[in-house]
Amino acid sequence: MEKADIRSYDLEELKEFFVSLGEKPFRAKQAYSWLHQKHITDFGEMTDFSKQLREKLAEACTLSVLRQARVQQSKLDGTRKYLFALPDGNLVESVFLRYKHGNSVCVSSQAGCRMGCRFCASTLDGLARNLTPGEMLEQVYRIREDVGERVSNVVVMGMGEPLDNYQNLLKFLQILTGEGGENISGRNVTVSTCGLVPQMRSLAEEKLQLTLAVSLHAPTQEKRLALMPIAAKYEIHEVIDACRHYFARTGRRVTFEYSLMAGVNDTGQDARQLAELLRGLNCHVNLIPVNPVRERGYAQPERAAVQKFKEKLERLGVNATVRREMGRDIDGACGQLRRRYGSGKEL
Ligand code: SAH
């Protein structure tokens, strides 16, 4: 049997684990603090445990640690983009962003992705595997230790489809927002999905106070399907209904991500149809000029066209902002850094 990753256990599971090793349950609390507050990278660092116990742990489980393979820092705004190697050599990207309201980390949930969105670099090689809760936490922990500053916001908007890795995502969120760890408020956490309807409905029942972000990118089923294969499985109105449900159950306003592509989804008619689609829904639209990916061939609209699209939405009663582009100079689009370095096994 494969050994379990000790960083992926919540406190209850950790207690059971220690008991199963014939240890006292209070050891779990000590270990939890080493894992999730002190962010240790080696069992040897658990200095209040005997050498014998540390060796027993190293025998019985693994400890996920991410290795920083590359880091790029933007000269424009201090954004730092990390390429991390997982214990098995797979690579994922994470981003550190410094805002006025606090520091934010963008986390990957999978190595690769199987959703196939036409404009996205992360999905070009398909899905390698799901990340464990410990590997998702590690992205936050390594960045926190690297910059030496507290992280107040987490967005699960890196590589992968978080709701396609649902159980691990939930465990990650629980440890991230729970006491005894980073204790980040659920209100400061955003999970972004391409629109997996059953999981969106489940998430509404989790009482986590998260912001749900939904990648919409088109105002009609036909146009969306041309950009996002997942639309064949979950039709656009089903996605919008699941958003209404999410708001009704949680009181949290849903965010829509709409990546503007010149000549594809940026016309006045697109804006009108989008406003029509979202009518009566308490939501916010984030407009993101598409990040051109060499293999994809989509282009950003002119600045003025982006502004016009935003103003049109606002006139039609839809809240909209144009997302400030951070780290423009450092391979902004998800998956680009990883692609540049191939599978990463050689790093
Ligand atoms: N799988 C999740 C989260 C991953 S990506 C999702 O689909 O929401 C985070 C956001 O970046 C998504 O809205 C995604 O559609 C968008 N995105 C991906 N590639 C992009 C690109 N080249 N330009 C702009 N946005 C992009």
Q: Is residue 31 part of a domain?
A: yes
Give the model's pLDDT for residue 323.
83
Cβ-count burial 145-172 (b if 16+ within 10 Å, e if not): eeeeeebebbbbbbbbbbbbbbebbbbb
CA-to-CA dists, residue 276 to 134, 183, 279, 313, 318, angstroms: 42, 39, 5, 10, 9
CATH code (residue 261): 3.20.20.70
CATH code (residue 31): 1.10.150.530
Is the same domain home to 98 and 46? no
User: Does the annotation mark 135 as catalytic?
Assistant: no
- Which numbered atom of ligand 1 lies nearest the CA of 217? 15
Is the same domain home to 48 and 105? no
Q: Is residue 48 part of a domain?
A: yes
Cβ count within 10 A of residue 309: 25
Q: Give the closest residue to 224 by CA, choosing from 282, 190, 270, 191.
A: 270
Is the same domain home to 29 and 117? no
Q: Which of 61, 93, 113, 243 is catalytic?
A: 93
The one-digit pLDDT tens for each residue of the chain (347 residues) are 689 999 999 999 999 999 999 999 999 999 999 999 999 999 999 999 999 999 999 999 999 999 999 999 988 888 999 999 999 999 999 999 998 889 999 999 999 999 999 999 999 999 999 999 999 999 999 999 999 999 999 999 999 999 999 999 999 999 999 999 999 999 999 999 999 999 999 999 998 999 999 999 999 999 999 999 999 999 999 999 999 999 999 999 999 999 999 999 999 999 999 999 999 999 999 999 998 888 888 999 999 999 999 999 999 999 999 987 667 677 655 556 666 655 433 33
Q: Is residue 323 part of a domain?
A: yes
d(CA 156, CA 174): 14
d(CA 23, CA 55): 13
- Ligand 1 centroid – CA 120 distance (Å): 6
User: Does the annotation mark 16 as catalytic?
Assistant: no
d(CA 168, CA 130): 8
- Ligand 1 centroid – CA 123 distance (Å): 10
Give the model's pLDDT for residue 272.
98
Give the model's pLDDT for residue 346.
36
Is the same domain home to 210 and 225? yes
Q: Is the CB of 228 under 6 A from ligand 1?
A: no
Q: Is residue 337 part of a domain?
A: yes
The parent domain of residue 230 ranges over: 67-342
Q: Is residue 185 part of a domain?
A: yes
- Ligand 1 centroid – CA 51 distance (Å): 46
Q: Give the closest residue to 6 by CA, choosing from 37, 32, 30.
A: 32
Q: How many domains does the chain have?
A: 2
User: Is the pTM above the cut of 0.75?
Assistant: yes
Is the same domain home to 141 and 271? yes
Given 36, 60, 84, the domain boundary residue is 60
Q: Is residue 311 part of a domain?
A: yes
Is the same domain home to 35 and 80? no
Q: Is residue 347 part of a domain?
A: no
Is the same domain home to 56 and 71? no
d(CA 73, CA 137): 21
Give the model's pLDDT for residue 343.
42
Is the same domain home to 157 and 185? yes
Nearest CA to ligand 1 atom 4: 157
Q: Is the CB of 288 under 6 A from ligand 1?
A: yes
Q: Is residue 168 part of a domain?
A: yes
